[in-house]
């Protein structure tokens, strides 16, 4: 799973494609090291944090939470990033599972 339950919410590993032509969640992918990530594409360019902000807002919208509940924890300049989503972990897990077609 590309997510991990935390006491205060959820941790989500995301593989970002900036300048992707549209803002969308494209499912789950397994990387060469075996880790699973949520594939996300955004129109924003990877300059001055614009793509990171676009991903943050896209995740908030897709998960039905406020943008302030989503924060970038690791990977600010990397393609694979870790986001923390604050809230009810069970509800968030269900939303991510529904969004990706995975079992919660």
The distance between the two most distant Cα atoms of the chain, rounded to a whole number of Å, is: 36
Residue 103 has pLDDT above 80, yes or no: no
Q: What's the chain's average pLDDT?
A: 89
Comparison of pLDDT for 21 and 80, the residue scoring more: 80
pTM reported for the whole predicted model = 0.87
How many C-beta atoms lie closer than 10 Å to residue 89's C-beta?
18
What H or E segment, with its residue span, contains residue 98? Answer: helix 89-100
Q: Please say whether the beta carbons of 38 and 62 come within 8 A.
A: no
Structure-block tokens of residue 32:
């060469």
pLDDT, residue 32, reads: 92
Q: What is the pLDDT of residues 7-56, one digit of tens each?
A: 989 999 999 999 888 899 988 999 899 999 999 999 999 888 899 999 99
Residue 104 has pLDDT above 60, yes or no: no
* High-pLDDT (> 90) share of the chain, %: 52
Structure-block tokens of residue 24:
């969308």
Comparison of pLDDT for 98 and 68, the residue scoring more: 68
Rounded CA-CA distance 43/24 in Å is 9
Instruction: Classify residue 80 by burial, with Cβ atoms within 10 Å: 0-12, 13-18, 19+.
Output: middle
Domains defined for the chain, CATH in brackets: 3-99 (3.30.1200.10)
pLDDT, residue 94, reads: 86
């Amino acid at each position: 799973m590309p997510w991990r339950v935390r006491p205060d919410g959820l941790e989500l590993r995301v593989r970002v494609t900036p300048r992707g032509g549209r803002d969308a969640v494209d499912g789950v992918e397994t990387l060469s090291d075996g880790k699973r990530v949520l594939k996300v594409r955004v129109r924003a360019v990877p300059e001055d944090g614009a793509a990171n902000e676009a991903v943050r807002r896209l995740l908030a919208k897709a998960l039905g939470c406020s943008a302030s509940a989503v924060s970038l924890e690791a990977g600010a300049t990397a393609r694979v990033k870790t986001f923390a989503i604050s809230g009810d972990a069970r509800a968030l897990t269900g939303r991510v599972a529904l969004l990706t077609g995975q079992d919660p």
